[in-house]
Amino acid sequence: MAVELKVPPLGESITEAVVGKWNKKKGEAVSADEPLVVLETDKVTIDVPAPAAGSVATIAFNEGDKVRVGDVLGTIEAGAGASAPAPQAAAPAPAAAPAAAATSAGTDVRMTPTARKIVEENKLDVAQLKGSGTGGRITKEDALGQLNRPAEAPAQRAPAAPSGPRPRADREERVKMTPLRRRVAERLVQAQSTAAILTTFNEVDMGAVMELRKQHQEKFLARHGVKLGFMSFFIRAAVEALKAFPQVNAEIDGDDVVFKHYYDIGVAVSGSRGLVVPVVRDADTQSMAELEKKVGDYGTRARNDKLTLAELQGGTFTITNGGIFGSMLSTPIINPPQTGILGMHNIVERPVARNGQVVIRPIMYLALSYDHRLIDGREAVQFLVRIKDCIEDPTRLLLEI
């Protein structure tokens, strides 16, 4: 019995993906729920599991091909005694509704109430819809995908070949941009074209934090099972600064300013396909150990492409640490619709003046990029000074002063 392998729902507002990698070839055996194909979207990478045990019968899309929610990626020839197919792949027949029913505004086709509303309001042809829900039910994502398809057609017809001959083409290599990299490019251009971005700098003496880590590292590790790093200090310091300067934790929505009384801090981590920013929810309520565990878990799963779409959405403020790559100074770009981003850098021993004496101290440069439409220079400078004070005197984080 052939079982269809379909593109699952990819998340809110995501209707298409790119086939990144097939883990099995045609004819190879596969176990039920074994990751069979990797799909890349502009936000996350998704493993699509085999709906049943058996062998790969057909592969409908090659690596690099674009697919949409509900498309059939291929089929599995279920073997004797194979487990029943997963509900989302079972009973594909209802999706292929009769033509007469398909043209009657979807009244005789199984679909969710939200999907039916979209179909009726936009007069969509249900015959063109493929249901990705249970039993072939048409979902909101299926309807939105069909609604957005015409608008996306011009982008799909973008020229795939160079406009003219390249003199040294024999020594060049041309590869497609990944969906994630295309999305990063779009967001960066969007940020610079819609926000008035300025950057202010300061330096922070890391000596107190480094001494505190050295003094308590062994006990901290033994009790919590995780090392005490720098990121938890900066998250806590950022939260204290955001409480003091709430406009840095706000966003512009049309003619309104939305002040957020919660602190969801995005932490930029390096994934296998580029930089991603998972969000630490309600960072103000978490202990140092909880913050370290969360950031460490995000970093590990980012490298293994295991982050979920929900973990990458939202966020009120972002922290990025270019210092782990050796960066001395940078001007980070805001992640819209946020209005601020903190850039950390590498720690270098430098001569500084202390009480009339020149001493060597571990110094880090900090950068705060902010949206000048909402945040004035005075507030931006004071915000960064507040972080500097918290890091140079970590007891402030305990006393919240």
**Is pLDDT above 60 for 80?**
no
Number of DSSP helices (H) and strands (E) in the chain, helices first:
10, 19
**Is pLDDT above 70 for 128?**
yes
Please indicate, yes or no, whether the overall pTM of this predicted structure exceeds 0.85: no
- Cα dihedral 227, 231, 237, 243, rounded to 10, equals -110
Q: Is 376 a catalytic residue?
A: yes
How far is the C-alpha of 249 from the C-alpha of 28, rounded, in Å? 52
**Is pLDDT above 70 for 87?**
no
Q: What is the pLDDT of residue 12?
A: 59
Q: What is the pLDDT of residue 1?
A: 78
**Is pLDDT above 80 for 286?**
yes
Q: What is the pLDDT of residue 400?
A: 64
How far is the C-alpha of 366 from the C-alpha of 125, rounded, in Å? 55
Q: What is the pLDDT of residue 207?
A: 96
Q: What is the pLDDT of residue 239?
A: 97
pLDDT digits (tens, 9 = 90+) for 32-46: 888 899 888 766 778
Q: What is the pLDDT of residue 148?
A: 61
Distances (CA, A) of 283 to 28, 38, 188, 306, 315: 46, 32, 25, 21, 11
Which residues, listed in sequence order, are joined to residue 353 by a DSSP beta bridge? 358
Q: Is 371 a catalytic residue?
A: no
Give CA 59 to chain center in angstroms.
Answer: 28
Element (H, E) at 16: strand 16-22
pLDDT digits (tens, 9 = 90+) for 227-277: 999 999 999 999 999 999 999 999 999 899 999 999 999 999 988 777 889
- Which residue matches tokens 């959405």? 313
Q: What is the pLDDT of residue 43?
A: 67
Q: What is the pLDDT of residue 119?
A: 78
Active-site option among 108, 372, 389, 393: 372
Least confident of 110-114, 145-149, 229-233, 323-327: 145-149
Neighbouring residues of 263: CB distance < 8 A, sequence distance ≥ 6: 239, 242, 243, 249, 282, 283, 284, 316, 317
Least confident of 1-5, 75-79, 159-163, 248-252: 159-163
Q: What is the pLDDT of residue 401?
A: 59
Distances (CA, A) of 126 to 69, 111, 293, 356, 363: 15, 10, 47, 79, 63
How far is the C-alpha of 388 from the C-alpha of 147, rounded, in Å? 50
Higher pLDDT, 155 or 393: 393
Least confident of 52-61, 90-99, 137-146, 238-247: 90-99
How far is the C-alpha of 344 from the C-alpha of 320, rounded, in Å? 6
Active-site option among 65, 297, 376, 389: 376
Do the Cβ atoms of 367 and 209 come closer than 8 Å? no
The beta strand positions in 190-334, using DSSP E, are 197-205, 250-253, 256-259, 265-267, 269-271, 274-276, 279-280, 317-321
How far is the C-alpha of 74 from the C-alpha of 6, rounded, in Å? 7
Angle, helices 140-156/113-122, rounded to nearest 10 degrees: 50
How far is the C-alpha of 293 from the C-alpha of 307, rounded, in Å? 15
**Is pLDDT above 60 for 333?**
yes
208: exposed, middle or buried (Cβ count in 10 Å: 0-12, 13-18, 19+): middle
Q: What is the pLDDT of residue 90?
A: 41
Which residues, listed in sequence order, are joined to residue 354 by a DSSP beta bridge? 357
pLDDT bucket at 162, cuts 50 / 70 / 90: low
How far is the C-alpha of 347 from the C-alpha of 390, rounded, in Å? 17
Q: What is the pLDDT of residue 251?
A: 95
Higher pLDDT, 358 or 133: 358
By C-alpha distance, which of 311, 313, 309, 314 is closest to 46?
309
Average pLDDT over all residues of the chain: 83
How far is the C-alpha of 95 from the C-alpha of 132, rounded, in Å? 8
How far is the C-alpha of 187 from the C-alpha of 170, rounded, in Å? 33
Q: What is the pLDDT of residue 94?
A: 37
Neighbouring residues of 166: CB distance < 8 A, sequence distance ≥ 6: 172
Q: Tell me what the mean pLDDT of segment 306-332 comes to.
A: 90
Residue 65 CB neighbours (<10 A): 12
Do the Cβ atoms of 20 and 38 come closer than 8 Å? yes
Q: What is the pLDDT of residue 351?
A: 96
- Which residue matches tokens 């915000």? 383
